[in-house]
Amino acid sequence: MCSSTLFVILTASLLLQQHIITAATNETTDSDPDTHVVLDNLGWIVSPSGAAAYRTWAASNEFDVGDILYFNFTTGRHDVAEVTKEAYDKCNTTNPISIKSTGPVNITIDSAGEHYFICTFTQHCSLGQKLAITARSEVPTGFVTRVSTSSLAAAIFSALVAIYLLH
Ligand SMILES: *[C@@H]1O[C@H](CO)[C@@H](O)[C@H](O)[C@H]1NC(C)=O
Ligand SMILES: *[C@@H]1O[C@H](CO)[C@@H](O)[C@H](O)[C@H]1NC(C)=O
Ligand SMILES: *[C@@H]1O[C@H](CO)[C@@H](O)[C@H](O)[C@H]1NC(C)=O
Ligand SMILES: *[C@@H]1O[C@H](CO)[C@@H](O)[C@H](O)[C@H]1NC(C)=O
Ligand SMILES: [Cu+2]
């Protein structure tokens, strides 16, 4: 194989790789974070329908890492504490992971998996003011599939070019 042939093959595969890298970079920055208004217009309150209201609301939303939970409440009437699953289950207000007392407040979902929030005002959690959500990791599953498809296409293309030029 002569050196100019080799050069063509190398250039072609480098261009393809550059394209894949650029596409991948844009893909990850494309997904804008969503703001979820907790319990929509009702806000962060003790719902007359209890904890079921928050379960229904959570089930009708899709949470991603980087999304914002907007807890709409009046300062002094409620607060928001992020707690462990154990504390959520028992409405244990001792030593929460973090607590926000000034409303309304935005809380950014900083990691994938389950997150638990309660109000620490007397009886509010046991009356059902408690939210459990599950966040997906920030990279959508479709992204990985698309990149590997492009890589596969690039590999096949490079191989075809090589075979053609070697003949
Ligand atoms: C990625 O974004 C950059 C800058 O915004 C743009 O110049 C480039 O064309 C984009 N690439 C793709 C594959 O969309
Ligand atoms: C937050 O609650 C206040 C008072 O109830 C209401 O006026 C406002 O529209 C709510 N904001 C959102 C984003 O729902
Ligand atoms: C509540 O949580 C605290 C701190 O994690 C723990 O020491 C305490 O035993 C818990 N109380 C109950 C009733 O589970
Ligand atoms: C919460 O985030 C939303 C959207 O990002 C923004 O419009 C709003 O002003 C924020 N509110 C507070 C209290 O930080
Ligand atoms: Cu409350």
Task: Please indicate, yes or no, whether residues 132 and 145 belong to a single structural domain of this protein.
Answer: no
Task: Please indicate, yes or no, whether residues 25 and 80 belong to a single structural domain of this protein.
Answer: no
Q: What is the CA radius of gyration of the chain?
A: 25
Task: Please indicate, yes or no, whether residues 55 and 92 belong to a single structural domain of this protein.
Answer: yes
Please tell me the predicted confidence (pLDDT) of residue 27.
47
Task: Please indicate, yes or no, whether residues 116 and 155 belong to a single structural domain of this protein.
Answer: no
Task: Please indicate, yes or no, whether residues 57 and 132 belong to a single structural domain of this protein.
Answer: yes
Please tell me the predicted confidence (pLDDT) of residue 8.
53
Take residue 125 and report the two structure tokens written for it: 């959690």
Task: Please indicate, yes or no, whether residues 58 and 91 belong to a single structural domain of this protein.
Answer: yes
Distance (Å, rounded) from C-alpha 56 to C-alpha 121? 22
The CB of 92 under 6 Å from ligand 3? The reply is yes
Averaged over successive runs of 10 residues, the pLDDT of the chain (167 residues) comes to 56 56 48 92 97 98 97 98 98 98 97 98 98 86 54 60 64
Take residue 44 and report the two structure tokens written for it: 């962060």
Looking at the CA of residue 70, tell me the nearest atom of ligand 4: 1
Question: Residues with beta carbon inside 6 Å of ligand 1?
Answer: 22-23, 26
Please tell me the predicted confidence (pLDDT) of residue 89.
98
Task: Please indicate, yes or no, whether residues 39 and 13 belong to a single structural domain of this protein.
Answer: no
Task: Please indicate, yes or no, whether residues 146 and 112 belong to a single structural domain of this protein.
Answer: no
The CB of 95 under 6 Å from ligand 3? The reply is yes
Please tell me the predicted confidence (pLDDT) of residue 30.
43
Residue 104 Cα to ligand 4 midpoint, Å, equals 9
Task: Please indicate, yes or no, whether residues 70 and 116 belong to a single structural domain of this protein.
Answer: yes
Please tell me the predicted confidence (pLDDT) of residue 32.
83
Please tell me the predicted confidence (pLDDT) of residue 29.
42
Task: Please indicate, yes or no, whether residues 145 and 116 belong to a single structural domain of this protein.
Answer: no
Task: Please indicate, yes or no, whether residues 77 and 152 belong to a single structural domain of this protein.
Answer: no
Q: Which amino acid is at 52?
A: A
Take residue 56 and report the two structure tokens written for it: 């229904």
Residue burial 93-112, b: 16+ Cβ < 10 Å; e: rest: beebeeebeebbbebebeee
User: Which residues form the domain of 145?
Assistant: 3-30+141-166
Looking at the CA of residue 23, tell me the nearest atom of ligand 1: 13
CA-nearest residue for atom 10, ligand 4, is 106
Q: The domain that contains 83 carries what CATH number?
A: 2.60.40.420
Please tell me the predicted confidence (pLDDT) of residue 116.
98
pTM of the model: 0.70
| Total structural domains within the chain | 2
